[in-house]
Chains A and B, each alone.
Chain A
Amino acid sequence: MTEPRMSEPRTPDLDADRPEQAEAEQHTDARADRILARRRWPQRLRVAEIHSIWRQPAVIAAAAILAVWVLLALLAPVLTDDPIAQSPDLYQPPSAAHWFGTDELGRDVFARVVHGARLSLPLAVVIVAFSLAIGGLVGLLAGYLGRAADEILMRLTDLVFAFPQIILAMAVAAAFGPSTRNAVIALIIVSWPIYARVIRSAVLSIRTSDFLASSRLLGVGPWQALRKDVIPNSVGPAVVLATLELGNAVLMLAALSFLGLGPRPPAAEWGAMIAAGSRDLSIWWVSVFPGLAILTVVLAFNIVGDALRDRLDPRTARGVR
């Protein structure tokens, strides 16, 4: 489409290192670009730089929030009442006895919000783990094998990207029938392609880079190169993406439950709780608190993910324009 820019060795004074890959991707595949461009991918995990994110107060706050949530999730049975125990005290506003009030069946909203973390957090981890495994494998294969395999696998990801994410998840969950397991499967189905794209582009940029060529000259076989060069160098983008996607998984799981396609009642799930509270605005506490739970968890993941990306990407970290 466009002439390649002349890649004369630029004077590093004004133009610090530009990742070649961003340049190359610019016009190759407008669609992929559009998806990827939302997030700019770092090329390599630099451990020393990762630690520096702890200098940001926002990251410390986010990590603290996540730690509190994990603790709450672990200690929920000890800390709170039974989240599904009904009582005659229906629709009680927040009080000393019920910090977050009670819902339409007289259940304690605080207990349900805290127990919601026992559902959302592990499920988000499961969704991300499976998506990463599947997407990572597909991306590695596509990037490493190239040619026909690359073409087929990437067209497969195109298919998933042809749907707005939550809409495809909704269709899959509805087709499979509503249950926690099916909601998770649906979210894995809609999530893996982004990992495939990102890992593939990481692999491609390494594959064409000099040090892989030189390791080939040194007689390193393809599998060894994969294990020693390609995989370790794909870790950086994968870590950033996985962190951001943890938040996304929590959001989408809540959305599916809100649509009635997630964990079945009486399970304490944040999205379903919001749906229950949405029927009557006067009982605001039934939906406001689970919403705040989602907001804090997702925001924390996003802050950490964002900070990681900034650290790992020289371009946005540079602060020079």
Chain B
Amino acid sequence: MATVVVGAGLSGLAAALRLAEAGERVTLLTKGIGGLPLSAGTVDVLGYAGDERVTRPYEALVTLAAAAPDHPYALLGRDAVEAAVAWLQAQVPELLAGQPGVNVTLPTAVGALRPTCLYPPSMAAGADLAGKAVAIVGPRQLKDFYPALCAANLARTPGGPAAAVGHSLDLPARPGEADASGLAYARSLDDPECRARFVAAVAAVVGDAEVVGLPAVLGYKDLNAWRAIQEGLGKPVFEITLIPPSVPGLRLNDALTALAKAAGVRIVLGSKVTGYTAEGGKVTSVTLHQAGHNQPWPADHVVYAPGGFESGALRVDSYGHVKETLFDLPVAAMGSGTVATERVLRATATGPDTMAPEGSAATGPDTTPAPAQPLLTGDFWQDQALFKLGVRVDAALRPIDESGRPVFTNLYATGSLLAGAIRWSEKSGEGIALGSAWAAAEVILGR
């Protein structure tokens, strides 16, 4: 049997790797590199339930599923998510530490504390700062990292360190480079000589701090570079994730891509899937828009993991109309136990704080009474319905239409495409990506 996976984010890579290691013939098609290099390199399962910070994500996931039956976690269940997260950790133990059922909080680049579940070992010391004296240190020539800002915010964050002081170093990544990305630093810190200079400069400013927070640039290919730096300083260090390019995300992306290739996944990078053929309710091939011609890639199963709005797989136009762009799958939103179709949301979106243009409420005969909710509201922290939009699936992860029937019997949607979750405020993105990839693979493998 041949499976085609579309998309190379965490969900696509995980599905491809899982299937290939079970003996499936897998081809992964992707327009570009997936979203992992933009991620923190951590695995969030569930960070917040409403306003409450979650400490035991699996237990909270069960509670959430009971209260929100349209949430992807209600469909996936605790077992699939737990199995998937444990499986991923076993694949890359050098990149993911932590106890799967327990959240920690890690400092961000602006000095907030962010809950997550698994994290690089190089970040572990950042999970345990309460009551300690912390130094935050970074080079002045590194883009978008301000040690003083990070330290000042950390010091006033509940649950944060007893004291935190920021220090900026004068230390270009390469001679003459005034404004370098984290990756330029990470590459230079792969080199023992540069590392020694870095350690000396950091050691000169940290004084008697007990723990040292450094930007997440402590080596790229050399996964032990941070340990060498820690040893050199003689005190615990922790990495702090920066804005993209994210070195911890790149490390994870590289590792998973290499594992997928080693397991026999054929990766086709650089072309977009622009169409498909179907017969008898099954997708028979997807069409890849290669240079010069369109190439059909036959498939027995298709795992569709293209991402959501960020990647363009879901698109919202200026009238508030939302579309899934490849298969034109029905786009649905979830809320209070009922399914509201995308057009209903569009029709009810009104008022100055919404993104739908004035007057659009009156358009067309589609308007049916339904939960009135604007797509976006002016208050960032409010429930933003737009981000709950997505594709609704059955228990086998197959996208379904409004009557609940699968659109195709061998098409499985995973990851950010799934409706019902606001990943960035719940901190549930990786858990959903992994759990859905795992569940789709189980169905394909007939388990």
Q: Do A and B bind each other?
A: no
